[in-house]
Amino acid sequence: MPARERLPALNGDQAPVREAAAGQPDESEGPQDTSGVPFADPVGSAALAADAGTALHLLREGGLTVHGRLTDASNAVLYCTATLDGLTAPCVYKPVAGERPLWDFPDGTLAGREVAAYEVSAATGWGLIPPTVLRDGPHGCGMVQLWVEPDPAAEELLALQDPAGPEPGWLPIVRAEVGPGRVALLVHRDDERLRRLAVLDAVLNNADRKGGHWIPAADGRLYGIDHGVTFAVPGKLRTLLWGWAEQPVAEEALDVLARLADDLDGALGERLRPHLTDAELTAAAERVDVLRRTARHPLPSPDWPSIPWPPV
């Protein structure tokens, strides 16, 4: 079972603060004037996210303007617009220069792994990660990802319920202390989009699938973000999506995994190679093989904290 840990309020402030900034990764102090920061229109942002060809061209070739820095981010995450041929779209730009080194990810870059994660997601056909590219920008090479505006009307995908639960339509994550002597059950919805995301995360070996790392878009689709700590060789799956642990992988996901296995051996593998080590590529292919062989969702590892903290 995942470690039992103390839960803070789950519906705390998840919304990022987009501070207007001078564009320097380390200049974000003090109150800022946000009046000039363009905000994404939820419908337009969802439409572009689903049109990967157009979005990738815009992100790769468009002129980047930095409008501000995301203040809830642990690395430099800059809120930008990309403009090309009269089309402008908000995006995030994470320059490699703004990455904090991680002892357990000594090779490659967070930005490169984010692009590699996007490539795998694109190969599944599930479109679970917004279009993402690696390119030069105002602060040097970095990843640029289309901004997906969260749909404020989207239903909650996480909840705290009575420990005797879960209620119908929900799946258990972990029992957690929520106050002195008070235990609650943290649950996520039994949702097809989350289930696909759980399979993708098992392939990516995602070490950071917290609740703030998926975004429900206005068109009903769900997008995963923040895939910098993925593709490690040892098992590091850390996620909230344990509701299907040890359950059979859906038939459609097995078909996708079969295609992924071939693709990793071919064109997809070549697209990943610039971003990953040989050992990381081999490990990714092995994870796909294990998922296909067992045909079951993975269990939490006893050797690794399997629940992200904080959970949102």
Q: Which stretches of the chain bind ligand ADP, using CB under 6 A?
A: 16, 70, 72-75, 77, 92, 130, 145, 147-148, 212, 215, 225-226, 228
| Smallest separation, CB 12 to ligand ADP (Å) | 13
CA gap 235, 112 in Å, rounded: 19
Other C-beta atoms closer than 10 Å to the C-beta of 106 total: 8
Q: Which does 147 bind (CB under 5 to 8 A by kind): Mg ion, ligand ADP, none?
A: ligand ADP
Please state, in angstroms and as integers, the Cα–Cα distance from residue 62 to each residue in 204, 244, 271, following that order.
Answer: 29, 40, 22
Return all residues near 252 (Cβ < 8 A) that are at least 6 apart: none
Q: Is the dihedral of CA 117, 122, 126, 129 positive or negative?
A: positive
| Smallest separation, CB 99 to Mg ion (Å) | 13
State which residue, 215 or 260, has the beta carbon closest to ligand ADP.
215
State which residue, 54 or 161, has the beta carbon closest to ligand ADP.
54
Tokens 């700590």 belong to residue = 229
Which segment (82-90, 132-140, 178-186, 224-232) binds Mg ion by CB under 5 A? 224-232
Beta carbons of 135 and 144 less than 8 angstroms apart: yes
State which residue, 16 or 163, has the beta carbon closest to ligand ADP.
16
CA gap 261, 266 in Å, rounded: 9
| Smallest separation, CB 310 to Mg ion (Å) | 11
State which residue, 40 or 264, has the beta carbon closest to ligand ADP.
40
Q: Which does 224 bind (CB under 5 to 8 A by kind): ligand ADP, Mg ion, none?
A: none
| Smallest separation, CB 280 to ligand ADP (Å) | 19
Residue 299, CB-side half-sphere exposure with 13 Å CA sphere: 6
State which residue, 226 or 263, has the beta carbon closest to Mg ion.
226
| Smallest separation, CB 207 to ligand ADP (Å) | 12
Beta carbons of 91 and 147 less than 8 angstroms apart: yes
| Smallest separation, CB 216 to ligand ADP (Å) | 11
CA gap 236, 104 in Å, rounded: 10
Q: Is 220 exposed, middle or buried (0-12, 13-18, 19+ CB in 10 A)?
A: exposed
Beta carbons of 247 and 198 less than 8 angstroms apart: no
Write the interaction track for Mg ion spanning residues 175-214; mark x where CB under 5 A is met and - where it is not.
----------------------------------------
State which residue, 51 or 190, has the beta carbon closest to ligand ADP.
51
| Smallest separation, CB 292 to ligand ADP (Å) | 30
| Smallest separation, CB 144 to ligand ADP (Å) | 10
CA gap 204, 238 in Å, rounded: 11
Q: What residue type is 21 in one-letter code? A: A
Tokens 């957690």 belong to residue = 176
Among 151, 191, 226, 280, binds Mg ion (CB under 5 A): 226
Q: Which does 75 bind (CB under 5 to 8 A by kind): Mg ion, ligand ADP, none?
A: ligand ADP
State which residue, 210 or 297, has the beta carbon closest to Mg ion.
210
CA gap 302, 56 in Å, rounded: 39
In the chain, DSSP finds a helix count (H) and a strand count (E) of 7, 11
Which segment (104-112, 164-172, 222-230, 244-252) binds Mg ion by CB under 5 A? 222-230
State which residue, 128 or 187, has the beta carbon closest to ligand ADP.
128
Q: Which residues bind Mg ion (CB under 5 A)?
A: 226
